[in-house]
Amino acid sequence: MNEFIDRVKFRVNIAGEALAIAVVQDYRTLEVLMVAFMNRNALEETLETEKMTYFSTSRERIWIKGETSGNFQKVKEVKIDCDGDALLFKVEQKRAACHKGYYSCFFRTYENGKVKLTGERIFDDQRVYGDKNDSNST
Amino acid sequence: MNEFIDRVKFRVNIAGEALAIAVVQDYRTLEVLMVAFMNRNALEETLETEKMTYFSTSRERIWIKGETSGNFQKVKEVKIDCDGDALLFKVEQKRAACHKGYYSCFFRTYENGKVKLTGERIFDDQRVYGDKNDSNST
């Protein structure tokens, strides 16, 4: 595991943390579900537990995706890019990825100069998160 | 166009620039090709020209993908994520995306604790870039 982790360049600095970018794809459809950050600890947890675990730049702590919502992401494949600062995960997504209730966080599309809602809404975010849904905590 | 750009949060700070994350997918196969950064100017250029244009954090300037190699990326679809700091582009990729000669920059996979070469090599990077191939300039 360390052979892999040692190649990762945690070069994005936010909230005093050295972070790598994590891109997450549905392993069946290849739809991109979300983009988030990992510090070294979050990556270690992800590889060990096979549950996607990130560093939240708003809460400034590690979080397991799904710890509030139950919408866990099981790791199916892990890749690293040429310069080592971005990771690509294929996952099995429980219910939906986005804290706004959409299957993917990319539910808005640029069309003819405007923003169009194009994503599939799966659940009511207010019911799942209640008042806690003020950040991208999911 | 501005209605879209105004929703983007350029919140990653590298090399004195405010940047958003750009994830790039092949529009036919949905393979993730690369991850890079855009400042506001790079995003404007990308939307106007329909050629993927980034901000290089190593060279600290805007660059059109393919300006050296000819491996341009034609924009097919543009999405924005829920918190506005990540953009997702579907593109038509000329030849290959990675400056190392692979179709995707994600040519290495984590397998049983080790790193395995799994990508498809399309061209000889030394022939295309020569000595310039010391950064991810492509």
* pLDDT class of B130 with cuts at 50, 70, 90: confident
B7 lies in a domain?
Answer: yes
A115 lies in a domain?
Answer: no
What confidence score (pLDDT) does residue A138 get?
A: 58
A118 lies in a domain?
Answer: no
Mean pLDDT of B3-28: 95
B68 lies in a domain?
Answer: yes
Name the closest residue on chain B to residue A107, using Cα atoms: B81
Complex confidence, ipTM: 0.93
- Chain Cα centroid distance, residue B24: 6
- Copy the structure tokens of residue B85: 């700091």
CATH number of the domain where residue B60 is located: 3.10.20.810
Q: Dump pLDDT digits (tens) for B37-87.
A: 999 999 999 999 999 999 999 999 999 999 999 999 999 999 999 999 999
Q: Which residue from B6, B102, B91, B85 is spatially nearest to B46, judged by alpha carbons?
A: B91
A103 lies in a domain?
Answer: no
DSSP line for B37-52 = EE-HHHHHHHHHHSB-
More confident residue, B125 or A80: A80
- Copy the structure tokens of residue A1: 């595991």
A131 lies in a domain?
Answer: no
Residues 6+ apart with CB under 8 A from B130: none
Q: Dump pLDDT digits (tens) for A38-72.
A: 999 999 999 999 999 999 999 999 999 999 999 99
With an 8 Å Cβ cutoff, are B88 and A106 in contact? yes
**A44 CA: distance to closest CA in chain B (Å):** 11
With an 8 Å Cβ cutoff, are B102 and A82 in contact? yes
Q: Dump pLDDT digits (tens) for B88-126.
A: 999 999 999 999 999 999 999 999 889 999 998 999 988
- Copy the structure tokens of residue B67: 């300006």
| SS3 labels along chain A | CHHHHCCCCCCEEECCEEEEEEEEEECCCCCEEEEEEECHHHHHHHHHHCECEEEECCCCEEEECCCCCCCCEEEEEEEECCCCCEEEEEEEECCCCCCCCECCCCCEEEECCEEEECCCECCCHHHHHHHHCCCCCC
Chain A CB contacts of B83 under 8 Å are 105, 136
Number of compact structural domains in chain B: 1
**B129 CA: distance to closest CA in chain A (Å):** 15
What confidence score (pLDDT) does residue A92 get?
A: 98
Among B3, B21, B29, beta carbon nearest to A114: B3
What is the C-alpha separation between B125 and B116, in angstroms, rounded?
20
B62 lies in a domain?
Answer: yes
With an 8 Å Cβ cutoff, are B106 and A81 in contact? yes
Domain range for A42 is 2-95
**A94 CA: distance to closest CA in chain B (Å):** 18
Question: How many other CB atoms are found less than 10 A from the CB of residue A2?
Answer: 9
B121 lies in a domain?
Answer: no
What confidence score (pLDDT) does residue B80 get?
A: 98
Q: What is the mean pLDDT of chain A?
A: 93
* pLDDT class of A127 with cuts at 50, 70, 90: confident
Burial class (CB in 10 A: 0-12, 13-18, 19+), A6: exposed
Q: Which residue from A45, A5, A24 is spatially nearest to A91, judged by alpha carbons?
A: A24
Q: What percent of chain A has pLDDT over 70?
A: 94
Q: Tell me: pLDDT of B23 over 70.
A: yes
Q: Tell me: pLDDT of A131 over 90.
A: no
What confidence score (pLDDT) does residue A132 get?
A: 58
Chain B CB contacts of A23 under 8 Å are 23, 32, 35
* pLDDT class of A134 with cuts at 50, 70, 90: very low
